[in-house]
Amino acid sequence: MREIVFDTETTGFSFADGDRMVEIGCLEMVNKVETGRTFHAYFHPERTMPAEAQRVHGLSDAFLADKPLFVQRVEDLLDFIGDSPLVAHNASFDFGFLNGELQRCGRATVGLNRMVDTVAMARMRHPGAKHSLDALCNRYGIDRSHRTVHGALLDAQLLSQVYVELTGGRQIGLGLVSDVVADTAPSTLIVATVVRPPRVFAVAEADRARHTAFLKTVVNPLWGSDPAMA
């Protein structure tokens, strides 16, 4: 199963109030394993950066001055995310800005049925605990020492590890089949099924005879007079 874990950085808290997305970081997972494929972009917000927001992510007006507008990278972004589920932390916030930007440039919005919110998952799994990304990294022993400020791709990479833990850890399905194989086309991934032959456990005749003899010594066995046990 292909999923996209993503995070955004913005000029504030509300697209409806005039805030804009300035960064998005996405990474691809197949069967809860990172494939190494990512999409990362900065955007010119067409407005000034509030000081409070800059303190969070470190993105200044000077840094963003030569960055493309969202509309100039929208096709690349949509090609990358495809129709996969989108995983985000406090996902309604990120979806609000993603869909706001899409709507602003005349593109179809992303359906909320594709939204996977790790905050909601954390609240279900750890009621009463702290559910910030930092808190969850601490809980699961995920190294975030290199995170000095918020960054969309870095936070998506941390979130992908948290998401794996929230969905059961590295042995989620206890499956013995899926291997991810990259095709020659960089946008194509094939999940190849490797079927392992069954192992045969044969019982030696001597062991079978000893077992039969032992059963005959049991008084009032639970299996009664089952001829198969005679």
Domain count, the chain: 1
Residue 200 is assigned to a structural domain of this protein: no
Residue 158 is assigned to a structural domain of this protein: yes
Residue 211 is assigned to a structural domain of this protein: no
Q: Are strands 2-10 and 86-88 parallel, antiparallel or unpaired?
A: parallel
Q: How far is CA 148 from the centre of its chain?
A: 22
- Residue ranges of the binding site for a divalent metal cation: 7, 9, 155
Residue 187 is assigned to a structural domain of this protein: no
Which residue type sits at 57? H
As a whole number of angstroms, the distance between CA 230 and CA 214 comes to: 11
CATH classification of the domain holding 105: 3.30.420.10
Active site residues: 150
DSSP state of 20: -
Structural domain for 29, as ranges: 2-173
Residue 203 is assigned to a structural domain of this protein: no
Looking at the predicted structure, is the pLDDT value of residue 142 above 90? yes
CB atoms within 10 A of CB 80: 20
- Residue ranges of the binding site for substrate: 7, 9, 52, 57, 155
Q: What is the pLDDT of residues 54-98, one digit of tens each?
A: 999 999 999 999 999 999 999 999 999 999 999 999 999 999 999
Rg (CA), the chain: 26
Residue 71 is assigned to a structural domain of this protein: yes
Residue 119 is assigned to a structural domain of this protein: yes
Residue 218 is assigned to a structural domain of this protein: no
Query: Is pTM, for the whole model, over 0.75?
Result: no
- Residue ranges of the binding site: 7, 9, 52, 57, 155
Beta bridge partners, 29, equal 3, 34
